[in-house]
Amino acid sequence: MNHPHVDGSIQRLRMKRFAMAAGTYMLLIVLMWVAYGAGYYRADFFDVWLVSVSVMMSQAALSLVFFSGFNQRFRDSSLTEFQVLMGLGWETFLLYHLDSARGTFLVLYVLVLLFGLFHLPPKIFTRCAVVALLGFTALNLWDAHQGQLSDPGLASLQTSALFIVLGWLCLYARFVQGSRQRMHQHRITLQAHQETLRGMMFQLEELASTDELTNLYNRRHFLRLATRELESMEGSYTAGLALIDLDHFKRVNDVYGHATGDRVLQVFASAASQCLRADDILARYGGEEFVLLIPRCTRAQLIECCERVRLAFEQTDIPELSGLQLSLSVGMTVIERGDDMDRALHRADQALYRAKHHGRNRCYGAWDHVDA
């Protein structure tokens, strides 16, 4: 489905093109009156006035079609072929009433066809050019039949010149449309390459910011996100920060092997992620240590969340390692506006040390030591 804004822009472009065509008709009327005043137009004043009114009414009707949006119901919403054929018809009608000035007004055939040069397919453009040539040829043949062709040689020369000019225009139209088609294809190819490049860049960013084993953020990306969160803190809101260390992880590696250790890290990442909100940030900080940032979090909410993570990990059962006891220790601190991330991490690290010192498998807050 096309975007309404895009459709509106295209429709406005069509209306501008129509306004240019309507302006050309006004110039045609002026030229017709000049030819009449100079004595080259074979009609009386009323006929010239009637033709002028008819041309203006035809353009007024077309303007209603465009301003009402009715033109969008047609396959060619610009009505380019219709407008070109109508312009050729009026031009042929004008030439019919001209005498020796007929050759001067032949250039208007080219002007009308140029309106469709960049918008009509080559076959349709050629068809319009053939209509123009046949119309002018028919005029000369009719005048010859009526005995009104004063200079047959000049008429033949004009017809030949028109044939050459229109033939050249048809060839040029094919060249233009072919170039536009190639440019369009190149643009599509370029867009495809850009989409591929954006996808590759996104994958590189993901690889650069994600820990390959756990699919959590890595330390570098966490610090970038945490710093951004710290800078955007407003008012009295606080955030929760926790350092999490898996208990006796070295023993797991030594007894069961590094493959089992990797499995335990993955199990923790999965269990912890299920306990967190979408905007909570969990990352692998290094080895068996993880870091958690909870935006807009009070002390009570931080304790509740960390306890939930601790219990979820403790209750996780790994079928192939049924005898393995899982536990973790957490050091917690609260970050306030204007706080420093390094100092906050240091407080959480000190709290984690105390959690291990007091027996592991527990959550310990930096405020516990202060309160004590």
As a three-state string, the secondary structure of 228-282 is HHHHCCCCCCCEEEEEEEECCHHHHHHHHCHHHHHHHHHHHHHHHHCCCCCCCEE
Does the pLDDT value for residue 329 go beyond 90? yes
Number of independent structural domains in the chain? 2
Instruction: Quote the CA–CA distance of 266 and 216 in Å, as a whole number.
Output: 9
DSSP summary character for residue 370: H
Please indicate, yes or no, if residue 200 is contained in any of the structural domains. no
Rounded to the nearest angstrom, the gap between the alpha carbon of residue 337 and the centroid of all alpha carbons in its chain is: 38
Q: How far apart are CA 71 and CA 13, in angstroms?
A: 13
Q: Tokens 């898996």 map to which residue?
A: 246
How many other CB atoms are there within 10 angstroms of residue 282's CB atom? 23
In a domain, 352, yes or no: yes
Asked if 279 and 346 sit in the same domain, the reply is yes
Separation between Cα atoms, residue 187 and residue 132, nearest integer Å: 35
Q: Which of 150, 174, 191 marks a domain boundary?
A: 191
Write out the H or E segment, with its range, that includes residue 59. helix 45-67
Residue 256 banded pLDDT, cuts 50, 70, 90: confident
Whether residue 223 sits in one domain with residue 187:
no
Going from the C-alpha of 185 to that of each of 87, 105, 331, the distances in angstroms are 32, 39, 59
Query: Do both 235 and 296 map to the same domain?
Result: yes
Model pLDDT for residues 272-302, shown as the tens digit of each residue: 999 999 999 999 998 999 999 999 999 999 9
Same domain? For 89 and 232 the reply is no
Terminal C-alpha separation, the chain: 65
Q: Are strands 363-365 and 289-294 parallel, antiparallel or unpaired?
A: unpaired
Residue 262: pLDDT band with limits 50, 70, 90: very high
**Cα separation, 192 vs 185, whole angstroms:** 11
pLDDT for position 370 = 52
| 206 in any annotated domain | no
Beta bridge partners of 335: 239
**Could you give the C-alpha distances from 162 to 95, 124, 155, 158, in angstroms and in order?**
13, 18, 10, 6
As a whole number, the mean pLDDT across the chain is 87
Going by pLDDT thresholds of 50, 70 and 90, the confidence category of residue 176 is confident
CA atoms in the 13 A half-sphere facing the CB of 124:
17
Structure confidence at residue 7 as a pLDDT band (50, 70, 90): low
| CA-based nearest residue to 334, from 221, 244, 247, 230 | 230
pLDDT at 96: 87
Question: Is 153 in the same domain as 231?
Answer: no
- pLDDT at residue 352 is higher than 90: yes
Pair 165, 280 in one domain: no
The CATH number of the domain holding residue 233 is: 3.30.70.270
Residues 268 and 150 both lie in one domain: no
| 1 has a pLDDT exceeding 50 | no
Q: Same domain for 255 and 157?
A: no
> Which residues does the annotation mark as catalytic?
288
Percentage of residues in the chain having pLDDT higher than 70: 96
Q: What is the rounded CA–CA span in Å between residue 102 and residue 14?
A: 32
Strand ranges in the chain using DSSP code E only, listed in sequence order: 239-246, 281-286, 289-294, 328-335, 363-365
Q: Are residues 233 and 135 in the same domain?
A: no
With respect to residue 135, please indicate whether it lies within any of the assigned structural domains: yes
Strand-by-strand arrangement of the 289-294 sheet: 281-286, 289-294, 239-246, 328-335, 363-365
Give the pairing of strands 363-365 and 328-335.
parallel
- Say whether both 62 and 180 belong to one domain: yes
- Of residues 231 and 331, more confidence is placed in 331
Regarding whether 226 and 167 lie in a shared domain, the answer is: no
pLDDT category of residue 23 using cuts at 50, 70 and 90: confident
Structural domain span for residue 297: 219-371
